[in-house]
Structure 1
């Protein structure tokens, strides 16, 4: 933990972490708030699902595109424009009564304009710390983002159910604008310029590490999404158990990230960490009571943030600085598609065999992730004796001084 304290004392690191977590806080609130709001105004969960699907499609499509734009027009311009459009779209969803296609269109626009904060901050990190500190910083980032998934759903559910769904969506707009402005105005965002990429759009996926990071992220988040569906199906209508069990899952991830973040990343790191997730999910097959599931998911969570840290580190270490933002955009798209695939697979199995089927689906995704990490182990860079800094560009790069 002393290493993390030293890291947070580095100039600007604590501020930029706090700002980006605040800016990304709506990501843990929007889906749930939209679900509750659209169901309330239309009386149909099916309609709400269609709006959420449109939003997710927009996010998946936009991720690598808006991230790449930051190298062309600058981070602040792209972040400001997307933040403004996204905020207006969500506000209209809250305040305007529309037919279902109108809500879907606004959801799509909100997804397409989701600010690429995650890509931006992970592009900035290598310019803020020493090469020795970069891998621990990725681990700390992956760990602290669990705070979003622990707190945000609780806050937005309380506001939506106790105050109103309109107010819940407007709260998201306020946090989106406030947190986004804090991040955009951070000195680091203005001091780092991403050189314009000279390669064609999508060519970064030809890098084995980026492709593996995208595939492993897809499988990892699909497993998590299936778990969430199973927990909600089992406990969602009977009390606070669902929220508590999922919070324990996130706490396990937070603990794993903080405790394993100092370990050097070798070629087998992804396989080992995915195996921890799969091992915890095996335990979910033995019982579905809240105490047992909480313990099993805590074990599974220990591997979650460390596995995400591997994805971030190998991506950074394998591409040129001008390609990092787009690469992280593809990583995010893979995770979004994984979330949709995990929910869909779990939903079909829940309808067929009950909540148990969701954990079977989650385990299946995790096991495939372990297999991919093992079979493709030579595609992962060995970072035990090198840092995770991006490869240099020939074009000049403005860095933080």
Structure 2
């Protein structure tokens, strides 16, 4: 914990972590809020899964594009425009009665305009700390973001079930605006300029580490999306059990991330951490009781933040600074496509085979996420004792003045 406290004392680190957490907090709310809202309106989990899939596809398409645009037009311009459009889309879903096709269209627009805060903040991090502190900072970030997934499901479930499904979405929209404005106004966002990439869009995927990280993230988040749908279907949307179990799932990730943040990253690290996720999710399929799911999903969660920290570190160490935002955008795209497919498959299997079907989907995704890095470990970097900072560009990175 000494390492983490030292990081938080560095000027700008605590502020930036806090601002981006609030700005991204709706990410832990909207999927569940949309799931409850659309199922309440249409009576079908499959419909809710399709709407979530449309939202995730929109985010997946936008991820690399908006991340790359930050290097061309500046972070603040891109973040402000996307925040405005995304907020209007979310409010329309909550306030305007419509049929499933229109929910899907607005969900797609919401996804397309999701502010690229995650690529922005992880591009800024290397400019705030020295090279030896970067890997622990990625671990702290991956762990801290689990606060979103610990509190988000509980808050969303409580508001959506006890007050009304519409209010869960409106609360998320409020946090989106407040957190997004705070992040955009942060001095670090104005000072760091991302150099425009001179390579074609998608060229960064030729880096084996970026491709492996993108595919593994696809499988990991697909598994998590299936778990979320399965837990909600198991306990229904009339009580707090689903939110509590999902919060414990994320609490496991928070604990795992903090516990493993100091462990050096080797070529085997990603496979080992994904195995823990797969084992816990497979065990969860045995019974659907509250306590059994809480214990097994806590175990599965303990591998999630550590696995994400590995993804961020191996990508950071293998690309140029001008390509980092796009690389993280592609990782986000992989994760969101995984969420779309995981949600859609889980939704259909819930309707046909019950909640257990969604948990089997989750276990299958997670096991594939273990096999992939295990087979591709010769292409993964060994960062034990190595610098995880991005490769410097040939020309110096300019810093802008405050504002």
The two structures have a TM-score, normalised by structure 2, of: 0.93
The answer on whether the counterparts of 1:267 and 1:382 sit within 8 Å (CA) in structure 2 is: yes
Are positions 1:315 and 2:315 aligned together? yes
State the SS of the aligned residue for 1:318.
coil
Task: State the distance in 1 between where 2:357 and 2:197 align.
Answer: 44
**Alignment partners' CA distance in 2, 1:129 and 1:176:** 27
Counterpart in the other structure of 1:390? 390
Matches within 5 A, 1:245-256: 245-256=245-256
| Residue 297 to residue 172, structure 1, CA distance change in 2 (3 Å) | closer
Once the two structures are superposed, the pairs formed by residues 1-400 of structure 1 within 5 Å of their partners are: 1-40=1-40, 47-236=47-236, 239-399=239-399
Shift of 1:152: 1.6
Cα distance in structure 2, aligned partners of 1:37 and 1:287: 27
Q: Whole-Å Cα distance in 2 between the matches of residues 139 and 394 of structure 1? A: 28
SS of 2:107's equivalent? helix
Q: Distance in 2 between matches of 1:92 and 1:119?
A: 26
Q: CA–CA distance in 1 between the matches of 2:94 and 2:283?
A: 41
Q: Report deviation, 1:51.
A: 3.3
Unaligned runs of 5+ in 2: none
Tell me the CA shift for residue 44 of structure 1: 5.8
Gaps of 5+ in 1: none
Shift of 1:150: 1.4
Which secondary structure state, in structure 1, belongs to the residue aligned with residue 392 of structure 2? coil
Q: Tell which deviates more after alignment, 252-261 or 173-182.
A: 173-182
Q: How many residues are paired up? A: 401
Check the 8 A contact 2:45/2:351 in 1, yes or no.
no
Deviation at 1:294, TM superposition (A): 1.5
**CA 1:104–1:356 in structure 2 vs 1: closer, same or farther (change >3 Å)?**
closer
2:317 partner SS: helix
Structure 1's 45 and 367: CA in aligned 2 closer, same or farther, altered over 3 A?
A: closer
What secondary structure does 1:149 align onto? helix
The 2-side partners of 1:164 and 1:353 are apart by 28
Contact 2:119 2:326 in 1 (8 A): yes
Structure 1 residues 387 and 236 mapped into 2: Cα distance closer, same or farther (>3 Å)? farther
